[in-house]
Amino acid sequence: MGAGEQLVGVSAYSDYPAAVQSLPVVGDALMVDLEQLALLRPDVLLAWESGTPSHVVDEFRARGYRVATIRTRRLQDIASALRRIGELTGHADEAELVANRFQSDLQELADDYAGTSEIRVFYQVSSRPLYTVNGSHYVSELIELCGGRNVFEDLGELAPMIAEEAVLERDPEALLAADVDGSDAFAVWARWPLMSANRYDNHFLVPADEIGRPTTRLIAAGREICQSLQLGREQRAASEP
């Protein structure tokens, strides 16, 4: 939204756009370098609502910092976050344009895949330990936009750890995972050739930086998911008698 020059520090693992790699790293979701923070003298801190511990936020405020907590659980939250940061940085008009474009791109994606046949999907956050997401997570929303159904959408926890047996019981027709581990991401499932996703050879990787970070780059991740699930439908149809 044009406020990049106002950013004085970043969290660990920040790497996009390239310019942020030259900025001081203040910490991560759990630990913050208070000395570095004091040197930077920021006017406002942006905290991750569902990730930064509340006691850390309370400590920031007790030290006199202005803290804005940003919620990024659902796709709509990203548009809201853009508008909020735009207001905080004096770039409300630019932020409105970016947020509107993000929402328009999401709607276009939904329209493109409306009416496609449902396909059951397991999204694997990590294989050891085995984690997934429930229906309240933005990844699950993207799957739904693409005509898929998250087989663990009904779980209560946002990112629960699950057993392999639970996945087999729900018999997904497609496996999705970030590309951090490459093709090895699905090695754990090779022992069960009769699982539908294995019978259809529906194993799909999504770029980790795009799917793992709640930003406007989720549009690119969504397109990747939609294309993968469409291929999954075709391979399912080809495997059926």
Does the pLDDT of residue 241 top 80, yes or no?
no
For residue 52, what pLDDT band results from cuts at 50, 70 and 90? Answer: confident
Burial class (CB in 10 A: 0-12, 13-18, 19+), 27: middle
- pLDDT at position 196 is 98
Output the pLDDT for position 106.
97
pLDDT exceeds cutoff 90 at 50? no
Checking if the pLDDT of 215 tops 90, the result is: yes
Mean pLDDT across 179-201? 91
Given this model, what pLDDT does residue 127 score? 87
Q: How confident is the model at residue 174 (pLDDT cuts 50, 70, 90)?
A: very high
Helix axes 92-112, 138-145, angle to 10 degrees: 50
Contacts of 68 (CB under 8 A, 6+ apart): 44, 45, 46, 47, 84, 85, 88
The reported pLDDT for the residue numbered 96 is 98
Pseudo-torsion of CA 181, 212, 143, 125, nearest 10°? Answer: 50
The per-residue DSSP string of 74-91 comes to SHHHHHHHHHHHHHHHT-
Please state the rounded mean pLDDT for residues 194-222.
Answer: 95
How large is the C-alpha radius of gyration of the chain? 20
Computed over every residue of the chain, the mean pLDDT equals: 94
The residue among 49 and 221 whose pLDDT is bigger is 221
pLDDT at site 181: 76
Q: What is the DSSP letter of 114?
A: T
Query: Does the pLDDT value for residue 30 go beyond 90?
Result: no
Top CATH class, 4-108: alpha beta
CATH topology of domain 115-239: Rossmann fold (3.40.50)
- What number is the average pLDDT over the span 22-42? 91
Residue 172 has a pLDDT of 98
109-135 per-residue burial string, b: 16 or more CB within 10 A, e: under 16: bbeebeeeeebbbbbbbebeebebbbb
Map out the domains of the chain as residue ranges.
4-108, 115-239
Token couple for 67: 């803290």
Which among 147, 90, 85 is positioned nearest to 117, based on CA atoms? 147
Measured distance CA(48)–CA(147) in Å, rounded: 29
Distance CA 183, CA 203 (A): 9
Which is more confident, 196 or 213? 196
Given this chain, do its domains 4-108 and 115-239 carry the same CATH topology? yes
- Per residue in 139-150, pLDDT (tens digit) is 999 999 999 999
pLDDT at 234: 97
- Higher pLDDT among residues 80 and 32, named by residue: 80
pLDDT at position 182 over 80: no
pTM: 0.92
